[in-house]
Structure formats: C-alpha cells, structure tokens
Amino acid sequence: MIVLRRWLTIPVFAIVIFSSTAMAGEWQGSGTPLYTIASGSLHGGVYVDGGHGVTYVDPYTEYFDLPDNIIYARLYVPMWNYNKGDTLTVSINDYQLKTREEPDYLAAWGVSCYVYNVTDIAFKKGLNLISASYENNNGAPYAIFLVAVYENSSMPYTRFWIDEGNDALSKAIAGGTVRTEGEALFPGDVDLNTVEKADLWTVMIAGTPGEVDELWFNSRLLGTDIGREKTGGYFDFDHFDVTDGLIESNNTVIFKRGDEQYLHPFNAILVVEHGSSVTGDTKLRTFPKQSSVRSGIPVPVIAVIIILISAFSLMYLKKRGQKKI
C-alpha cells in the first residue's frame, strides 16, 4: 500500500509542478468571440486610444486627451492571470469607481477583461487620468483602453461600430476543436458612393514576436505578425486606413492565429466618414453583453502533462530497480 501511495504521488507531483510554472490561473475556456456592443451614426467622431502593455506597476495609469460632448464611452482594462478573489479598482481623475471582482470576459489561463460603461462620468476636455489598482497574485493589467463617441456638428456624418470580447485562439483543445481564426463583424450596409474615409482600430493580447499571425479586413490583408508586443508587453493596439477595403455589406475583420500558440482579439472598432452631402441625426444603439464559451484544455497542454507524468514515473521505477539490486 505504501508503494502504491508513493507511485500515485508521482502524477500528482508532476501536475502540481507544471501548474505552478506554466499555468497562471485555471483554464477558463475559449472566451467570447467579438461582437458588436454598440453602433450608430452622428455628426462627430469616435475617440480610440490606450496602452501600454504589462508593467506590473500598481497603480497602472494612462492619460487620455478627450474631446467635448461625449455621448457614449466604454473603458476596458484587460488583465493577466485572473483568479477568483482578485479585485480591480479604477479611478477617473479624482472619481473612484466601485471595486470589481468578477471580470466581464474571461478565457484561457486567466486572460480577462473588465469593461465599464463610463458614459455618465464627467470627463473634461483635454487630459484625463485613468488609473487601475489591483489585487492579483502574479497578474497585472495589459492596458487601459478607452472608446468614446462624441458629437460635433461641424464634423462629417459618421457611422461607427464598436466590437468587443475575448476570443481565445489556441491550438487544438480536448475534444478536437482547433481555434485558428476569429472574426469581428460590423453588420449592416454602407453606401460606398458617399464614403470619404474608413478607419479601423484593433486590440490584441498575448501575441508573440516571430510567431506569424495575419490580420484581414474583408479580402484585404492588413499585415502579418501583427501580434508582436509592439505597443507594450503582450499588447498590440493598431490603427489602419481601410477605405479601399470597404465593402457594401457586413464588413468583417478576420484574426488568423497562424503560428501563434495563443492570440486573444479583444476589440475592433470601425468608423466610416461620409462626404458633406450626407447629413442626419444622432443615432446610437447598444446591445446586450454576451457570455463566454467553455471548452476543454488545449491538447498541447495535456501532452506536456502526460510527458511530465511519464518522466517522473520512469525516474521512480528506475530508482526502485536500483534499490532492489
């Protein structure tokens, strides 16, 4: 019985070692594919900005140079290594928001995102300071990211879509699923005859330099190895002029994982500016938040666990054989 207990200890010990070195939090599934949380049109624009990658500084801070007349705003704080019991407290200038525990989006090994509707916050024109204080063992914010829709009667009539989520693109998971790509759909028609300009912003987490991914807008390749930590640690914030790639209906961003082990698309924002002949009223539509998708642990992770168990088992059996001799 004692020998059996010792032998059974081996796989448990192997899993514990692997968990402490490779796993940040518990496996949380495939996350939430990107979807439209808000869309609309107005004379005005959409402010999109944020940064600056994982630093482990607490509090994590970011400045935003904002316009007047904000009518809708969403604030994102993506976090690494979420575990139950973690907390996040966000302050905007001198105003502290309620401390949060549960994130809005959660996937993979604790890659999470806290989302705030900050439309009613009294932002000021010009520089605004946003800070995030956190209780998170070995984790930290990837960024603070803000999207703000604002009115300006002197500006062109503009249509916009704000997509959000936390789409965990990874190798094969238990059950055979392989997440090779994700999409962000901007539903609806666009009159190409009146379009002056179209801008796209994307946010991705966990990209690795040299592991080549691809980013597409409809049938147009925007670039390769986009996820390479160019904006900061594990964080990529990009802007593209997609005027030439715009189509008449259901424009779509496609995130292709390629060689990446893990890639998390978080946001895609499309803003289409029309010519002076187009005018109209302010229209804003918001949509319900969507839930995360549960899934199995990636097959490569399971394979590593099995290899570790086998290695420790062989070591133990070899030592037993040496003692008998």
Tokens at 169, concatenated: 């693109």
* Rounded CA separation 255/165 (Å): 13
**Which pLDDT score, from 0 to 100, does residue 72 have?**
99
Residue 213 lies in a domain: yes
Stretch (H or E) spanning 249: strand 249-256
Check residue 323 and give its pLDDT. Answer: 55
What are the backbone angles phi and psi of residue 84, rounded to the nearest 5°? Answer: -55, 135
Sign of CA dihedral 50, 228, 205, 266: positive
Is 304 inside a domain boundary? no
Domain count, the chain: 1
176: region left, alpha or beta (phi > 0 left; psi from -120 to 50 alpha): left
Domain membership of residue 79 (yes or no) is yes
- 116, part of any domain: yes
* CB-based contacts of 160, cutoff 8 Å, min separation 6: 39, 40, 41, 46, 149, 269, 270, 271, 272
The answer as to whether 172 is a domain residue is yes
Whole domain around residue 234: which residue ranges? 31-285
In a domain, residue 310? The reply is no
Give pLDDT tens digits along the chain (325 positions): 544 444 444 444 444 434 433 345 678 889 999 999 999 999 999 999 999 999 999 999 999 999 999 999 999 999 999 999 999 999 999 999 999 999 999 999 999 999 999 999 999 999 999 999 999 999 999 999 999 999 999 999 999 999 999 999 998 665 556 789 999 999 999 999 999 999 999 999 999 999 999 999 999 999 999 999 999 999 999 999 999 999 999 999 999 999 999 999 999 999 999 999 999 999 999 999 998 765 555 544 444 444 444 554 555 556 555 555 5
CB 159 within 8 A of CB 194: no
> pTM for the full model?
0.84
Residue 301 is assigned to a structural domain of this protein: no
Look at residue 22 in the predicted model and tell me its pLDDT.
Answer: 39
Question: Can you tell me the distance from the alpha carbon of 200 to that of 186, in angstroms, rounded to the nearest whole number?
Answer: 11
pLDDT at position 26 is 75
Q: Is residue 296 part of a domain?
A: no
Please tell me the predicted confidence (pLDDT) of residue 321: 59
At 144 the pLDDT is 99
